[in-house]
Amino acid sequence: MRVKQLALGAFLVAFAAPALRAEYIVLRSGQRLAVTGYQIIGDKYRLQMKGGTADVPIEQVLTIEPEEIFTPVPRTVEVSQEPFGDLIRAAAKRYSVDADLITSVIAAESNFDPKAISRRDARGLMQLLPATATHLGVKNIFDPQENIDAGTHYLSDLLVLYKNDLALALAAYNAGPDRVQRYGQRVPPFAETISYIRRVQQNYNQLKSSSLPAKTAARGTSTAGSTRRPAASKSAQF
């Protein structure tokens, strides 16, 4: 196993603020490695750890334990500035979903890592489960265009299902529609789901606030009317 800067990483873990909650990669040797993210590269896991990275052969990994939150939402990234902007705008237009919302979901789901894989085996930029991806016609779940298109399609369906209630749509995206239904069409009381909704909404609101002056100036040529913007949630306060 090749490890970079682990001594520095141990120092940082001891003194860093508790903003991140790590997952644990459990090796067959019994060693447990705290990671803030990981992806599969060939026959190895590329582990992201505080202070460095490590490449571990897949056969050496016994299991992956929670937590499911990888990294905090990065600084607000405008659609025009982030690397998948064209794909996001295309999906936004196709499914009538606000491009800023898609960007915010990607930031919370994968931090813009197209190879991200979660403990639940959700994959890619919008963290699609393989079954969901197959249902939506995805051939390559790690392809940014296919992943963003399918994820936006699913998000659009959820917004329609919950009558444009953003909190419920995000709760269903994170925890599943069955759990939203189980709790009486309310946000499930799961810390991870509540935290997820807050992170997406915070980033989304920041994006809308930062883009408001430009949209006001360009009101005469704006095409925002063709995009559905979610309503404030009536189901819960976040």
Q: What is the pLDDT of residue 187?
A: 92
Q: What is the pTM of this model?
A: 0.63
Residue 70 lies in a domain: no
Decide: 89 and 152 in contact? Cβ < 8 Å: no
* Side chain identity, residue 198: R
Record the tokens describing residue 94, joined without a space: 């196709």
pLDDT value of position 19: 37
Do 107 and 161 lie in one domain? The reply is yes
Single residue among 22, 37, 65 that ends a domain in this structure: 65
Q: State the residue for tokens 């399918």.
A: 150
Contact 155, 102 (CB under 8 A): yes
| Active site (annotated) includes residue 23 | no
HEC states along the chain?
A: CEECCHHHHHHHHHHCCCCCCCEEEEECCCCEEEECEEEEECCEEEEEECCEEEEEEHHHEEEEECCCCCCCCCCCCCCCCCCCHHHHHHHHHHHCECHHHHHHHHHHHHCCCCCEECCCCCECCCCECHHHHHHCCCCCCCCHHHHHHHHHHHHHHHHHHCCCEHHHHHHHHHHCHHHHHHCCCCCCCCHHHHHHHHHHHHHHHHHHHHHHHHHHHCHHHCCHHHCECCECCCCCCC
Q: Is residue 235 part of a domain?
A: no
Per-residue confidence (pLDDT) for residue 225, from 0 to 100:
41
What pLDDT is recorded for position 181?
A: 94
Same domain (yes/no): 49, 89: no
Looking at residue 129, which CATH number applies to its domain? 1.10.530.10
Choosing from 23, 59, 82, 109, which is the catalytic residue?
Answer: 109
Q: How many domains are there within the chain?
A: 2
**Which residues partner with 141 through β-bridges?**
none
pLDDT for the residue 209 = 86
Give backbone dihedrals phi and psi of 123, rounded to 5 degrees, phi first. Answer: -135, 150
HSE toward the beta carbon, residue 89, CA cutoff 13 A? 11
pLDDT tens track, the chain, 238 positions:
443 333 333 333 333 333 344 567 777 777 777 787 777 788 888 888 777 888 889 888 777 765 544 444 444 455 544 679 999 999 999 999 999 999 999 999 998 999 999 888 999 999 999 999 999 999 999 999 999 999 999 999 999 999 999 999 999 999 999 999 999 999 988 888 888 999 999 999 999 888 665 555 544 444 444 566 675 554 444 5
Q: Are residues 30 and 109 in the same domain?
A: no
- pLDDT of 27 reads 77
Contacts of 10 (CB under 8 A, 6+ apart): 51
Structure-block tokens of residue 101: 């919302």
pLDDT (0 to 100) of residue 49: 79
- Residue 47 belongs to a domain: yes
Smallest CA-to-CA distance from 148 within 133, 126, 130, 170 is with: 126
Q: How many CA atoms lie within 13 A of 147 on its CB side?
A: 26
Query: For residue 6, what pLDDT is reported?
Result: 34
Same domain? For 53 and 99 the reply is no
Residue 234 resides in a domain: no
Is residue 221 a part of any domain in this protein? yes
Domain that holds residue 99: 85-226
The answer to whether residues 102 and 197 belong to one domain is yes
